Amino acid sequence: MFHRRALIASLASIALFVTSPAFGQQAVTENLEISGGFARATPPMARVGIAYLTITSLGEADRLVGYSTPACNRPELHTHIENDGVMQMRQVEAIEVPAGGVAALKPGGFHMMMIDLTEQLVEGGTVALTLVFEEAGEVGLEVPILAMGAMGAMGDMAH
């Protein structure tokens, strides 16, 4: 009985998300909440784009192991490391979402690198992302394309 109520409650929250006028920028699973996502606009001939989002664990740990998007041919997960005072990007196998904690993909840190773009990312548009988690499986959402250099709601470091 309790289980069924919980199921109905979670279905209701999914319905809320789908009918939201905000392009489904948030996604919620049994264990994860994905919010604050955005991509940065690119110049016309750019080959590479970048997207950020925040993944919150509602209980269990999980790992973001990849993603796909129609916007590029080579989706990679990256981090930034400082090497002799120079910030460099490095591909990572996965991004850990700690139990009950947050994995923040944000300027200066972890990010989704969209290599070999199939289209220009135009400010005001959206990018469809399918995140792939070790436990939660595939989670789809659509993130807005903000201005070049956009920092998002809580960014405070340069890319």
Footprint of Cu ion on residues 12-71 (CB under 5 A)?
none
Does residue number 113 form part of the binding site for Cu ion (CB under 5 A)? yes
Nearer to Cu ion, 136 or 150 (CB): 150
The binder of Cu ion chosen from 54, 78, 103, 106 (CB under 5 A): 78
Does position 92 bind Cu ion by CB under 5 A?
A: no
Closest CB to Cu ion among residues 57, 75: 75
89 is a contact residue toward Cu ion (CB under 5 A): yes
- Report in angstroms how near the CB of residue 141 gets to Cu ion at its nearest: 20
Nearer to Cu ion, 78 or 106 (CB): 78
> Helix %, strand %, coil % for the chain, to 5?
10, 50, 40
| C-alpha to C-alpha distance for 49 and 115, rounded to whole angstroms | 7
**15 vs 148, which CB is nearer to Cu ion?**
148
| Rounded distance between C-alpha atoms, residue 153 and residue 159, angstroms | 15
Cα–Cα distance for residue pair 71/81, rounded to 1 Å: 26
**Quick check: 125 and 139 in contact, CB under 8 A?**
no
Region of 5-13, 14-22, 76-84, 140-148 interacting with Cu ion (CB under 5 A): 76-84
Residues forming the site for Cu ion (CB under 5 A): 78, 89, 113
